Amino acid sequence: MSDCTLPPRAVAPLPALAAGAVALLMFAATALAQAPYPNRQIRLIAPFPPAGAVDLVGRPLAVRMQEALGQQIVFENRPGAGGNIGAELVAKAPADGYTLLMGAITTHSISATLIQKLGYDLQKDLAPISLVANSPHILVALPALPVRNVRELIALARARPGELNWASQGNGTLSHLEQELLKAMAKIDVTHVPYKGSAPALTDLFGGQVALLFDSVPAVLHHIRSGKLRGLAVATSRRSNVLPDVPTVAESGLKGFAADNWFGLMAPAGTAKEVIARLNAETVKALAAGDLRTRLLELGFEPRSSTPEELRAIIASEIALWAKVIRDSGARVD
């Protein structure tokens, strides 16, 4: 009888199997990296505390954009240092489009001059994607203050130099520097009273400890409509859509006064142009959608998209504007 024993089957040596597995993993990783953007979850960093203006703008935008992008966008608050902790986190993140900043552009433009040892460079370390909205600041006062507009306020301040207590959201904030800009242009003397945010400033305003405050329209809109506060003028270059009867500071006699409080979307510098273009296109489409646009307008925001180049130019111009105000006023952070 013939020997029918089959020869032993060849088995690949263990090192060869390991090498094959590594090669397969490398291939999969390369394929994933080359897949169309985005192919995984995106983080959208809000560099301010929850429930503020950045949240009111950024969260509904994130919901709208994730529907179009087909990936979850996780909205993450990283507050601190006037918005600069979160901004620095994004500036130092991998430039792959998966970590983005929902920034208050004016605030970061102020920090570029105000903070000597900032951990990032706004113009060099972050890539603009698009404007998102403007949250106009408005100068408010208690109805008991005998002024109805900026002209009357200037006359009162000149008649009582140093006597009017003027609140701000803190040293070096937009609320403070708007005050300094108005003081310089109107040549008046008022007493600056800094607070740690809008809420305590409004509390003392209602209590009569201070007379005036620049704050965002969304923060004070209800109080103006209820008659608890009087809107004297908006700080922006044009009137607010939700308070069309309130003039701008420039219309009130201080020609050239403008302080636009922009919010914008940014990515780490070096992010691929194709990724920036995709994010820009989806931001523009989201802000054009009727439901999101209506919601933002009702809250007192002014939706506005832009090209990355337009946002870059706005940042440069605001850095120059606020650098002069900071130098002239001697503003500093504690």
Domains (range + CATH), the chain = 42-134+261-329 (3.40.190.150), 137-252 (3.40.190.10)
Residue 1 has pLDDT above 50, yes or no: no
User: What's the confidence (pLDDT) of residue 172?
Assistant: 81
User: What's the confidence (pLDDT) of residue 311?
Assistant: 97
pLDDT digits (tens, 9 = 90+) for 103-112: 999 889 999 9
Residue 50 has pLDDT above 90, yes or no: no
User: What's the confidence (pLDDT) of residue 16?
Assistant: 55
Q: What is the pTM of this model?
A: 0.79
CA angle 287, 289, 294 (to 5 degrees): 85
pLDDT band, residue 19 (cuts 50/70/90): low
Q: What is the mean pLDDT of residues 300-313?
A: 95
Beta strands in the chain (DSSP E): 42-46, 73-77, 99-104, 126-134, 137-141, 165-168, 191-194, 212-216, 230-234, 262-268, 302-303
Q: What is the mean pLDDT of residues 45-65?
A: 90
pLDDT digits (tens, 9 = 90+) for 75-92: 999 988 878 999 999 999
User: What's the confidence (pLDDT) of residue 31?
Assistant: 46
- 248 versus 298: the higher-pLDDT residue is 248
CA-closest candidate to residue 89, choices 119, 128, 49, 55: 119
Q: What is the mean pLDDT of residues 35-54?
A: 90
Contact between 61 and 305 (Cβ < 8 Å): no
Residue 308 has pLDDT above 90, yes or no: yes
User: What's the confidence (pLDDT) of residue 147?
Assistant: 97
Residue 310 has pLDDT above 50, yes or no: yes
User: What's the confidence (pLDDT) of residue 21?
Assistant: 55
Highest mean pLDDT among 111-125, 163-177, 240-254, 266-280: 266-280
User: What's the confidence (pLDDT) of residue 170?
Assistant: 84
User: What's the confidence (pLDDT) of residue 106?
Assistant: 87
CA distance 300 to 241: 7
Residue 217 has pLDDT above 70, yes or no: yes
pLDDT band, residue 219 (cuts 50/70/90): confident
CA distance 165 to 190: 6
User: What's the confidence (pLDDT) of residue 27?
Assistant: 53
Neighbours of 204 (CB within 10 A): 15
Residue 199 has pLDDT above 90, yes or no: no
Which stretches within 139-289 are classed as H helix?
150-159, 174-186, 198-207, 217-226, 273-288
Residue 2 has pLDDT above 50, yes or no: no
Highest mean pLDDT among 132-136, 241-245, 279-283, 329-333: 279-283
Asked if the peptide bond before residue 38 counts as cis, ω within 30 degrees of 0, the response is yes
Residue 7 has pLDDT above 70, yes or no: no
Residue 287 has pLDDT above 60, yes or no: yes
Contact between 152 and 88 (Cβ < 8 Å): no
CA-closest candidate to residue 186, choices 220, 149, 215, 211: 149
Strands of 191-194's sheet, edge to edge?
Answer: 191-194, 165-168, 212-216, 137-141, 230-234
Strands of 262-268's sheet, edge to edge?
Answer: 73-77, 42-46, 99-104, 262-268, 126-134, 302-303
User: What's the confidence (pLDDT) of residue 191?
Assistant: 96
Q: What is the mean pLDDT of residues 229-255?
A: 94
pLDDT band, residue 325 (cuts 50/70/90): confident
Q: What is the mean pLDDT of residues 223-245?
A: 94
